[in-house]
Structure 1
Amino acid sequence: MLQQPWCHDDERSALLQFKESFVIDKSASAYEGAYPKFLSWKPEGESSNCCSWDGIQCDEKTSYVIGLDLSSSCLFGSINSTSSLFSLLHLRTLNLADNNFKYSPIPTEIGKLSMLRYLNLSSSAFFGQIPSQISSLSKLSSLDLSLNLDGFTGTSLLQLKKPNFASLVQNLTKLEKLDLSSVNVSSTVADSLANFSSITSLLLEGCGLHGDFPATIFQLPNLRSLSVRENLDLNGFLPEFNQSSSLMFLSLAGTNFSGNLPSSMENLHSLVGFVASKCNFEGPIPSSIGKLRHLLYLDLSDNNLVGQIPESIEDLTQLSYLALSFNGFSGGNLSWVGKQSRLTILDLASTNLTGEIPSSLQNLTQLTELYLDGNQIAGFIPSWIGNLTQLTKLFLRVNNLIGPIPEPLFGLKNLETIFLDENALSGIVKFDMFLSLKDLTYLRLNSNNLSLLIEPRSTNATLPKFKVLALALCNISEFPDFLRYQDQLAWLELFGNNIHGQIPKWVLNTSTETLKFLGLSNNFLTGFDQLPDVLPWTNVQMLRLSNNMLQGPLPIPPPSTIEYDISDNLLTGEISPMICNLSDLQMLSLYNNKLSGTLPQCLGNFSKSLMILQLGNNSFRGSIPQTCSSGSNLRMMKLNSNQFQGKLPRSLVNCVMLESLDLTNNELTDVFPSWLGTLSELKLLLLHGNRFYGEIGRPKRDTDFPKLRVIDLSYNNFTGNLPADYWSSWSSMKEANVNHSDYMTAQTSFLMLNKMFSVTVSYEFSITITNKGVERYYQAILEEFAVIDLSSNRFEGDIPEVIGNLQALHFLNLSNNFLTGVIPPSLGNLTELESLDFSQNQLRGEIPHQLVQLTFLSSFNVSYNNLTGPIPQGNQLDTFDSTSYEGNPGLCGKPSSRKCNNAQASPLPPTTFDEDDKSGSSIKFDWRIVLSGFIGGLVVGVVLSDFVTMRLVRWLVIRLETLGWTLPKRRRRISRRNRV
């Protein structure tokens, strides 16, 4: 038996001194088996030989300390440049992993340990720049600096800038293992690594790598493990592999690797794990993948793979984990599943699977997690599912499954998660069957044809503790009684049921500290049994109470709220100033209630977080608050159908992310807000039904309103010529046939429940368009949609030819103005046009034959103008009746009753008023008009026999207003409507 060497006194002293620089704190190490190795270090007695101390290795011949392993030793303290550690000059291995060194830098003195072959400083809260002296440790075969992360934010603490990646490794040519995962490298991968023939393990996860990954690294002769996952800007492709490859584990997940999966992957005979999720691989999965008989772990999810899932996967009988989810496979069924009897996790979500759930799945008796959600699987949930006794997670949501929930499913006593929502399951379900599954934590039954029978509970005994419970559209008629005893809920969804009456007081006591999402929308709730000053769910983030019958004052959510939707209710009163505490609010929708008063000025305090603001269809009054400050994230502002007055707040110019601004049907008085032209993201500008006035003028810059697609200035008091200069610069309306199949939306995404749920909140832009006096509401608008509505103003002059350049236009309405001149032939270029309305103007000349080219036209109106000549025939123009042309006595041909001949059209009857009289001092009337006026409230009575009724009245009112006459207080616009 070899005698244990006796350590040198100076080294024992150095180690004891090193020990004294730390305290023992169990929270300093994350490993469950961590313990303080220092406890065996004694300065005197039989245990004073440092070579016998825990974590110490001495050379048998020289007795020098050559190994120091203090990993997971619960050390808390700093290491500085004077540390006695650096006097242990014979060290070959140094392992300080999984401790807490209090964000101290790695001392440059580490370079003194020139004999080091193994260095592990991972997961120990080191901070700052990696010292260049490490690059001088030329004998290193293993270097691990990974996972030095901030304990609160998870961000990298170490960075590699000077030296950079290439400089660090240039002298470390003997490296066999290199792990820089979570080090902030932010550079390209050092090309020199392709020359490190001895390297067996290269782990560069989440380093901020970018550029092209050297494909030759894959060919390193001894490389067994390679992971560059979570480097989003790292490009690369898989090379052709030769049979000499030693690769056992390859992870490219979360990178920008692309191209095809080469069939030569069959040469990776030793491959045990291949992870390439969230990349950009395309093409089919090569059938040769079935030859990787040692493969245990295969993850190709979230790519652009197509074709059929190869049946050769059935030959991978050693697989324990298989994930092919979220790809573009062309249908197919699961006939290849069943021989992988060792599978514990099978993830085939969103892979376009069809057919029924195959019976071969029942052979996978080791399965713990099954994900078949987001497919087109039809038929029944098979009763043999009860054979999968190890199952803990079952995801069958968003399919075409029918029939009842099979009773054997309730025999799977290990189930923790059941997601069956968005199918066509039917029948009556006794909810107690779910309550018998004691480990059940996540349950979603939304959007089926189920009717839940929920029995009252008098006790909390044996009930599962739910965290997610989604029972929307389940024909529930009252609040489930068992919720009284739930104190860990994070997600509760009950929308779309038949719950009537008040929200019971006990609901306010349910999971008050854990609830993050509460959805009670689309029920028949009338209010709270007892409404507190602030709703009691202290950590709630999303609160949805819309489409109910809630009455009384606005409930105030807690400050943690991110989304608050209580639209479409019967709320009254003013907004409490307590809403100002919601500093993280991103979405606020109070739309379509009966709220009144002025808006709190604090809305401007939300501008950096607030993205959606919907306050329309209420009775708010006063001025619009200064809602935007520098750095605003506001995307949608919908304040329509209120009683706002005054000017637009100039702070709107700070809403640089604003895409939709809807201020229709208010009492705003201002000039055209040309200053909004700097908002580069603005797509919708809706100012209909206000008191805007004056000439629009010319844009200050050619780039104003670069993305504007919809503008509605109708029913205001704008004057002057049409804004031809703006039309020349609106580039987004000039591109027709652009493939924008998406809808215009404002949306945001955030993670909830420890990143288990990625929630995307999306609000679609909407608009109401008037055709021939009939309003049509568009709940959603395609990105390609373009609208100009300048109707019911006082515009005059010609319609500019430049209008023909706006080839993306779908709706154009210039009716009810004082436009003269001819209809420009360039309108024939607007081939996307669906609706054209020039009625109630003074246009003359012929209708251009070029309008026959508008083959999408479904609404056309040029009535009550001075148009003459034949009505063009052909295509869509043949589908309109005479009402589209009436009030133009000079028009002839179908569908009018007047036939065309070669003779010159007879002149129009003389005007009944003098259009050229700008002073307003002389007004001429014919015998058909009887006018009676009373000072203190002018009453205008008009008796007309046939022609130009409304236009004459409008002209008369305008002329009298210029003389200072005041009309009775009546709003000369359409009545306020529900414009969602």
Structure 2
Amino acid sequence: MKNIFYLFSFILLNIFCRDTNKGQQFHTAEYPKTDSLNLSNLRLKNLPLDSFANKKITYLNLLGNAEIDLFKEEKLLKSITALTDLRITVHSIAQIPLSLRDKVKGIEIISYDNNKFCELMSLKGLKYLSVNANFGGEHNQSIGQIPREIYDLTQLEELRLPYLGITSIGNEIGQLTNLKTLNLDYNKIANLPQEFSKLNSLEDFSIRENMFINFPKVLYDLAYLKKFNFLFNSISLPEDIDRLRAIEDISFTKYADTKIPLQFCELSKLKKLTVWVIRGSNVNFEDDFLPQVFDKLTSLEKLSLPFCNIKKIPQVIFKLTNLKDLDIHENFITELPSQISNLEKLEMLNLNNNPLTNLPNEIARLKNLKSLDILETKINKIPPAIYGLKEIEWFNIDQTLITYDSLVNFKYLKSLNLSGKNLIKIPKSVFQFKNLVSLNLSNNNNKEVPDQVANFKELEKLNLKNNPIIKISNKVAQLDKLNVINLDNNDGFKAICNALSVYKKDIYMAPDGNFPFYIYGINVYLSKNITEIPAEIGKLSTLRELNLMGSTIKLLPNQMMNCSNLKIINLVSTRLESINPQIQKLKKLKSLNLANNKIKFIPNEIGELKDLEFLNLGSNLISEIPPSVSELNNLINLSISNNQITRLPSQLSKLKKLKSLDVSKNLIKEIPLELLNSNTLTEFEFYPNLLPDKEIYNKVKAKYRKIVF
């Protein structure tokens, strides 16, 4: 998944949200000792053994971890004798061992063939099914209709089929009487069959961005329907909408002349309402869009009206006294009326991107307000009333409007931005903010992070970018929730190595943007201007990934070889001139990427890396592959393209797990017969080289699925 970067300009630290967590390990302490374990969306390759210690797990969620080899983990999963509900992500049913199929109760299928839905029937009692948007592989084929095999999965409780080009729903849908959640977003459906009324258990139904033009009144028969999302369908609300008696959450799109009928205000259980206008459209927000009796929705807690072309907030909104969340960002509102104080229970107020020039003094009466967003407005000074919001935790505002002295008024802050405040040290009063989740000290002149950092028990993100850091207290290692330290564009590499020398969780190091965001352990973002790896790196016994791609280092220090838990090294496009022979000490190394450097020689000791699966030495100055490479018994991918190699050792055929071999752009004149006869290789790239016999090209082309000419 891509990096997402949010900057909350006043008090919100740079928040990094990445969800690709390759090769990650976990500690049992991360999970509660219950019979359920959720490891979803962590992009795991292997199951963390210590997470299963002394636990009688009945429910295990592995959704979003498509790289886990279930055959490899079969023994471990079978040993969990209490396990009855396993949730997994696979490319096809064939990836599930037969011995585990009776435990599988939830499955996400990606890149699935339309003609293999019949295999679903081998999974008895399936409760959760999701077919990913990558359906059909790179061409994203449409399935047209929901396959009949899905209708036979009568125990299903949750079904997700978005982005599949579905045009119709069969009458057999009525068989899924246990269904509680149905997501058919981004398809081409225009109506629902009458048999849909048999889904008596359905609570959550979403048809966002389909082709409906009429409201599907068959939903009136669903007594337990609580949530209905039909955003971006050309549907108007019917006069008898109040027949959705159980509805608590509804989302729809406003088109020209769309009005909320009076009967809508009879939905007494409604807690959340979201209305959008298609961005860039000329649809007006009429004064009477919300009926005068809208305040009859006394259960309403969240009202979201973004992009609705609102110029003036309807007065009836201020009568919704149970409202906790009001989101009216991206509109044309110039004034926040004093009646805002009527919403005494309000906890979140989003006014982002409106031409507001001021806030009324009455806003100070919102004693429960915890989040206020007034970024991208025309407010050019902080209204005094703001300082009366003592409970505020999140405050998004142009940071140039704030002085540090004013921050002490907000003792419950969870995010604090002191970027560019010309600080030469962290003010002592900062340490009073014991609830901080994120602290931004970037673009200052701080040289030290003192011991008082231990006060931040809740801290998750610490930004020290663009500071001359020379010392970081080892107290940071005690911050159990700390997940990100940003040391970009400073010299804090040595300092952080010293500080984390006693850290017990996993450590991942890389320039910002060059590696995934790991949820557990700590992510250290380093400067791209690093010229050498400090000897102190040898103190990091839990370092798992080192990525210095694009830096200017020339050698790997001996001390680095003490990082016995290191699994991933990425030094692509540095100035590395040699591979330290002591690399043989890194027994747990799985991935070594040293492409595009100035390496001339591969040491024999590399053969000691018995766990290595990926080795990339492409675009270097190497002239020979040592026979010891053939001792890398777990190697799956070997790339040594664009070098000066003249021959391939026949011993490479001994690599029984090798799937991909790239020796293109070398000086090779002959391919050993042993390689030509390999039964394990599926990708063999060898052109251009100096092979004189064109028949060899034809043999290889005929044998391997992928070949590059």
Given the alignment, which residue of 407, 412, 415 partners 2:369? Answer: 415
* Partner Cα distance (2:104, 2:690) in 1: 65
Aligned equivalents of 2:335, 2:682: Cα separation in 1: 54
What amino acid is aligned across from residue 579 of structure 1 in structure 2? L
Q: Match of 2:314, SS?
A: helix
Specify the alignment match of 1:564 in structure 2.
524
| 1:497-555 Cα distance to aligned partner (Å, 9 max, x none) | 431131342552331x322222333x233333x54386442332222221234375443
CA shift, 1:368, in A, is: 0.8
SS at match of 1:287: coil
Match of 1:368 in 2: 324
**Residue 286 of structure 1, aligned match among 228, 231, 235:** 235
1:454 alignment counterpart = 404
What SS is found at the alignment partner of 1:484?
helix
1:215 aligns with 2:173: yes
Alignment of 1:304-453 (within 5 A): 308=255, 311-313=258-260, 315=262, 316-319=264-267, 320-324=270-274, 335=286, 338-339=290-291, 340-341=294-295, 342=297, 344-346=300-302, 348=304, 353=307, 355-356=309-310, 358-360=312-314, 363-364=317-318, 365-366=320-321, 367-371=323-327, 376-377=330-331, 382=336, 386-387=340-341, 389-390=343-344, 392-394=346-348, 396=350, 400-401=353-354, 406=359, 408=361, 409-419=363-373, 423=376, 427-429=380-382, 436-445=388-397, 448=398, 450-453=400-403
CA gap 1:276/1:626 in 2 versus in 1, 3 angstroms = farther
Per-residue Cα deviation, 1:43-79 (whole angstroms, up to 9, x for no partner): xxxxxxxxxxxxxxxxxxxxxxxxxxxxxxxxxxxxx
| 2:572 paired with 1:592 | no
- Structure with more contact order per residue of length (Cα contacts < 8 Å, sep ≥ 6): 2
* Aligned ranges 1:715-734 → 2 under 5 Å: 718=667, 720=669
> Is 1:464 equivalent to 2:411 in the alignment?
yes
TM-score normalised to the size of structure 1? 0.40
CA distance in 2, matches of 1:230, 1:242: 15
> In the alignment, which residue of structure 2 is the partner of 1:501?
446
Distance 2:548 2:386 in 1: 35
Partner of 1:867: none
Alignment of 1:565-644 (within 5 A): 565-568=525-528, 573-582=534-543, 585=544, 592=551, 597-598=557-558, 600-601=560-561, 605-607=565-567, 613=570, 617=574, 622-623=580-581, 625=583, 637=593
Partner of 2:204 in structure 1? 252
Q: What is the rounded CA distance, in whole Å, between the counterparts of 2:539 and 2:439 in structure 1? A: 26
Residue 452 of structure 1: CA displacement?
A: 2.3
1:518 to 462, 465, 470: 462
The residue that corresponds to 2:438 in the other structure is 492
Tell me: CA distance 1:473–1:267, structure 2 relative to 1, closer, same or farther (3 Å): same
Q: Are the equivalent residues in 1 in contact too, given 2:443–2:467 (CA < 8 A)?
A: yes
In 2, are the aligned partners of 1:426 and 1:449 still within 8 Å (CA)? no
**Which SS does the other structure have where 2:541 is aligned?**
helix
In structure 1, how many angstroms separate the alpha carbons of the residues matched to 2:285 and 2:340? 19
Change (3 A) 1:203 1:429: farther
**CA–CA distance in 1 between the matches of 2:609 and 2:253?**
46
The reply to whether residue 646 of structure 1 matches residue 602 of structure 2 is yes
Q: In the superposition, relative to structure 1, how do residues 456 and 356 fare at CA in structure 2: closer, same or farther (>3 Å)? A: closer
- CA 1:338/1:694 → structure 2, altered by over 3 Å: closer, same or farther? same
**Deviation, structure 1 residue 485:** 0.4
| Conservation of the 8 A alpha-carbon contact between 1:621 and 1:645 | yes
Partner residue in 2 for 1:671: 625
Q: Is this contact kept in 2: 1:187–1:208, CA < 8 A?
A: no
Please list the CA deviations of residues 146-168 of structure 1 after superposition, one character each: whole Å capped at 9, or x if unmatched: xxxxxxxx997899999999xxx
AA aligned opposite 2:435:
Q
Name which one, 1 or 2, has greater alpha-carbon Rg: 1
Residue in 1 that maps onto 2:79: none
- Flag the 1:377–1:271 CA change in 2: closer, same or farther, 3 A: farther
Partner Cα distance (2:550, 2:434) in 1: 32
Where structure 2 has 5 or more consecutive residues not aligned to the other structure, the ranges are: 1-33, 36-54, 60-81, 88-99, 106-123, 130-147, 162-168, 506-520, 702-708
Distance in 2 of aligned mates of 1:269 and 1:283: 23
Q: Are the structure 2 counterparts of residues 164 and 498 from structure 1 closer, same or farther at C-alpha, using a change threshold of 3 Å? A: closer
Could you tell me whether the CA contact under 8 Å between 2:565 and 2:588 is conserved in 1?
no
Specify the code of the residue in structure 1 equivalent to 2:489.
Answer: N
CA change 1:721–1:204 in 2 (3 A) is closer
Describe the superposition over 1:766-791 as per-residue Cα deviations: whole angstroms up to 9, x where unpaired. xxxxxxxxxxxxxxxxxxxxxx998x
Question: How far apart are the structure 2 equivalents of 1:404 and 1:506?
Answer: 42
1:597 is displaced (CA, Å) by 1.4
Give the equivalent residue in structure 1 for 2:132. Answer: none
Whole-Å Cα distance in 1 between the matches of residues 170 and 266 of structure 2? 33
The answer to whether 1:186 aligns with 2:126 is: yes
Question: Deviation of residue 413 (structure 1)?
Answer: 2.2
CA distance in 1, matches of 2:257, 2:341: 27
What are the within-5 Å matches in structure 2 for residues 222-237 of structure 1?
Answer: 228-229=180-181
Number of residue pairs aligned between Structure 1 and Structure 2:
517
Q: Distance in 1 between matches of 2:317 and 2:581?
A: 69
Structure 1 residue aligned with 2:135:
none
Structure 1 residues 69-102: Cα deviation after superposition (integer angstroms, max 9, x where no partner): xxxxxxxxxxxxxxxxxxxxxxxxxxxxxxxxx9
Distance in 2, matches of 1:695 and 1:605, equals: 34
Q: Which has the higher strand share?
A: 1
Name the CA distance, whole Å, in 2 between partners of 1:401 and 1:485.
Answer: 33
Structure (1 or 2) with the greater helix fraction: 2
Deviation, 1:415, is: 0.8
Aligned equivalents of 1:565 and 1:434: distance in 2? 35
Question: Judging changes above 3 Å, is the alpha-carbon distance between structure 1 residues 681 and 440 closer, same or farther for their aligned structure 2 residues?
Answer: farther
Tell me the distance in 1 between the aligned counterparts of 2:526 and 2:206: 38
**Paired residues of 1:260 and 1:284 also in contact (CA < 8 A):** yes
Q: CA deviation at 1:293?
A: 1.6
Please give the residue correspondences for 1:68-79 in structure 2 after superposition, counting only pairs within 5 Å. Answer: none
Question: What does residue 482 of structure 2 align with?
Answer: 540
* Contact map agreement 1:275 1:297 (CA 8 A) in 2: yes
Call closer, same or farther: CA 1:579–1:381 in 2, change over 3 Å.
farther
State the one-letter code of the partner of 2:271.
Y
Distance 2:610 2:210 in 1: 41
SS of the residue corresponding to residue 483 of structure 1 reads helix
1:518 aligned counterpart, secondary structure? strand
Change (3 A) 1:345 1:534: closer
Output the amino acid matched with 1:485: Q
Give the letter aligned to residue 430 of structure 2: L
Report the AA paired with residue 500 of structure 1.
Answer: N
| Contact 1:449 1:474 (C-alpha < 8 Å) held by counterparts | no
Distance 1:266 1:313 in 2: 20
Separation in structure 1 between the aligned mates of residue 423 and residue 455 of structure 2, nearest angstrom: 19
- Superposition RMSD in Å: 6.6
1:483 to 411, 418, 430: 430
Task: Give the Cα–Cα distance (whole angstroms) in 2 for the partners of residues 535 and 441 of structure 1.
Answer: 25
- Structure 1 residues 328 and 463, CA, compared in 2 at 3 Å: closer, same or farther? closer
Paired AA for residue 458 in structure 2: T
